[in-house]
Copies of this chain bind each other. A is one copy, B any other.
Amino acid sequence: MLSERMRHLTPYTAGEQPRDRSYIKLNTNENPYPPTGKVARFLKRIDPDMLRLYPDPNMTRLRQVIAEREGLAPENVFAGNGSDEVLSFCFYAFFDSVRFPQLTYSFYPVYCDFYGISKTTVPMKPDLGIDLEAMVSRERQDPVIVANPNSPTGMYLEKAEIEKFLHRYNQESIVIVDEAYIDFGGETCAGLINTHKNLVVVRTLSKSHSLAGARLGYALAGKPLIDALFVVKDSFNSYPVDTLAQEIGVRALTDCAPNRRNIEKIIATREWTAGKLAEMGWSVKPSRSNFLFCSMPGRDGFFVYSELKKRGILVRYFDKDRLRDSVRISIGTRKQMQSLLTAVQVIAREPT
């Protein structure tokens, strides 16, 4: 009874989201700090009557606030139900075929199968960095998507490298830079959309603004590309960003200083944790994100994942070539990371 297209689907597997809240949850890159004061104050005075009417389908105020934050115009902004939905709409709108790094956000190949997009994966550098040189396809100049910082490694491409790539690349082929983690120490490419009409920058409020539960993401690009994303939205669901999410987004994005402080704490905790793990002999990838991709000496990733889970700590393990020796650990509070380090010392004493 299912459609033909169902034969081609292999759904994305998200990290575990146990309803049991006793875990120290370091597996899906959530922010350990609650949303900031403006969001909290808004939540205290919601008028229930606002839910009676449909949301603003143009997300006018939210897009204004995003535009102001990024130094762009509202016509350069599209918002969606998490950056997952924004990415999904981008794949629909921009890709008949696409190239992306072999090791990256594992939703990209899922979108390809969902829409029947042909995909080419590009091998990583020996250190698991993105090989931008190899991303260039001289013959076909397919559209491209890169995550920067990349997941699950946390590794970062300098803005200058991406700019050089954009200059070399076919100006008619879309380049998406997925900046889900850019706020944790990277430099955004958002400003480049004015000079590169083929560039789309995708962001999320899930991590940097402690709003994974509110589902808010956005895309920045030239007006013709944003218009195309609206056509896609209006062919799928006129109002994917609900009224409360729009209002919450406006508050979060205008509460800059407290968010900045949370991010700085996370960066400091990341560097502290990375240092401690390195002291214990772990190999840790240089990260500009809110997670660390790292491996324990003499142990594989599944062992670390399983032993930590037994001890009430969830981290993420990827059962994939070149990733099996490692785990991805989200950065929690200093106290949570201390618990992680203690557990790590305990499991290091387990017999091999």
Contacts and interface: CB of A to CB of B under 8 A. Distances in A.
Interface of A: 1-6, 9-14, 17, 19, 25, 28, 30-35, 39-40, 43-44, 46, 48-57, 60, 81-82, 84-85, 88, 92-96, 110-111, 113-115, 117, 172-174, 197-198, 206, 210-215, 224-225, 228, 230-240, 242-245, 248
Contact of A213 (B3, B31, B53, B172): B53
B3 A55 contact: no
B93 A235 contact: no
B3 A95 contact: yes
Contact of A54 (B14, B56, B248): B14
A211 B9 contact: no
A345 to B, nearest CB: 27
B82 A53 contact: no
A213 B55 contact: yes
A12 B234 CA distance: 6
Contact of A48 (B14, B43, B231): B43
Contacts of A230: 11
A60 B19 contact: yes
Given A51-B39, A52-B30, A235-B114, A214 B244 contact: yes
Given A43-B46, A50-B213, A51-B248, 20 more contacts: A2-B93, A3-B92, A3-B93, A3-B96, A14-B54, A19-B56, A19-B60, A25-B53, A30-B53, A34-B48, A35-B51, A39-B51, A43-B43, A51-B213, A51-B214, A53-B213, A81-B237, A84-B238, A215-B240, A242-B245
A51 B210 contact: yes
16 contacts: A1-B198, A3-B95, A3-B96, A11-B233, A12-B238, A14-B57, A30-B54, A35-B52, A52-B211, A52-B212, A53-B212, A81-B242, A88-B236, A88-B237, A114-B236, A242-B244
Given A9-B235, A35-B52, A56-B19, A85 B240 contact: yes
Contacts of A43: 43, 46, 48
Residue of A5, A84, A197, A213 with most chain B CB atoms under a 10 A cut-off = A213
Given A51-B211, A53-B30, A81-B242, A1 B225 contact: yes
A35 to B, nearest CB: 5
Given A6-B228, A235-B110, A215 B17 contact: no
Nearest to A222: B1
Contacts of A60: 19
Contacts of A9: 231-232, 235
A214 B213 CA distance: 14
Contacts of A1: 94, 172-174, 197-198, 224-225
A336 B248 CA distance: 31
A178 B224 CA distance: 34
A94 B54 contact: no
